[in-house]
Amino acid sequence: MSGKVHRFKEVTSTQDVSRRLLAEGTAREGEVIVADYQTAGRGRFGRVWRSPIGGLYATFICERSRLISIRTGVSLISALERFGLRARLKWPNDVVVDREKLGGVIVEEASGIALVGVGVNLDRSPLPGSTCVSAHGVKIDRDSLLQAISVELSVELGDDELLDAYRASSATIGHRVSVVRDPRTGPIVGIARWIDDRGRLLVETPDGVRPVASGECFHLRFPAVDAGRFARLS
Ligand code: BTN
């Protein structure tokens, strides 16, 4: 991604702005929208994404592709690594350091184009249980990180290579997990064994291996014996 960077001070959400600029024809694929802060930043599952000044809030306008969300997660991890911060990915795309969330990715679509929203906490942890870059003794300037992510998104990795990189950065494989796909149905509880070539999480449950294509994943602290008990109770 080496296109124009559209810079804003305040926006509702860079997702909204990118959608509008695309519709007006003033932004196109390969370009990025970045804001100093957002008044209505959004995360996955309709959650609010707190966006005070000092974080990175950007939407990359990308060609839609099967593994775009995975590609973005891997690019974020590689970009952070360039500055000496080793983060990992909680399936599907939460950027975490030591179990605490540092950043996230949301992918939306407009007229067949992917709006890839990236948020990274740089010098503030906006929520309990979240973390930020500076809490790990690292200083990263927003624009340098934006540039590094753009460069990483341009690296041409084949699907196999990409999935290997994703698995290598996974904080989820090997963990006991509870995955909520739809709040109206029970979670899938078991051990996350692998991520397949479609990016699905393969969860080993007492009833066999279940592939999960999307949902929210919680890492459980219970010992193995209790994971089954948790499944029966929930
Ligand atoms: C998540 O983990 O739930 C995804 C968070 C994505 C937040 C980013 S910040 C820039 C872009 N604009 C938004 O409103 N959301 C994304």
Does the beta carbon of 44 sit less than 6 angstroms from any atom of ligand 1?
yes
Nearest-CA residue for atom 10 of ligand 1: 57
For residue 232, report the distance from its CA to the centre of ligand 1, in Å.
Answer: 34
Does the beta carbon of 55 sit less than 6 angstroms from any atom of ligand 1?
no
Print pLDDT tens along the chain (234 aa).
768 999 999 999 999 999 999 999 999 999 999 999 999 999 998 899 999 999 999 999 999 999 999 999 999 999 999 999 999 999 999 999 999 999 999 999 998 999 999 999 999 998 888 999 999 999 999 999 999 999 999 998 999 999 999 999 999 999 999 999 887 888 999 999 999 999 999 999 999 999 999 999 999 985 443 334 433 433
Counting ligand 1 atoms within 8 A of each CB, the residue from 102, 106, 116 with the most, and so the one to mutate, is 106
pLDDT in tens, 39-53: 999 999 889 999 999
Angle at CA 18, nearest 5°, toward 105 and 37? Answer: 65
Does the beta carbon of 42 sit less than 6 angstroms from any atom of ligand 1?
yes
Per-residue burial over 33-50, b if 16 or more Cβ lie within 10 Å, else e, is: bbbbbbeebbbbeeeebb
**Tokens describing residue 114:** 């992917």
pLDDT in tens, 2-38: 689 999 999 999 999 999 999 999 999 999 999 999 9
Domains of the chain: 5-168 (3.30.930.10), 176-233 (2.30.30)
Distance CA(85)–CA(45), nearest Å, equals 27
- Helix and strand element counts for the chain (H, E): 5, 12
Q: Counting atoms of ligand 1 from 1, which one is nearest the CA of 103?
A: 2
Query: Are the beta carbons of 216 and 44 closer than 8 angstroms?
Result: yes
Counting ligand 1 atoms within 8 A of each CB, the residue from 21, 33, 49, 94 with the most, and so the one to mutate, is 49
Query: Are the beta carbons of 189 and 210 closer than 8 angstroms?
Result: no
Counting ligand 1 atoms within 8 A of each CB, the residue from 47, 57, 132 with the most, and so the one to mutate, is 57
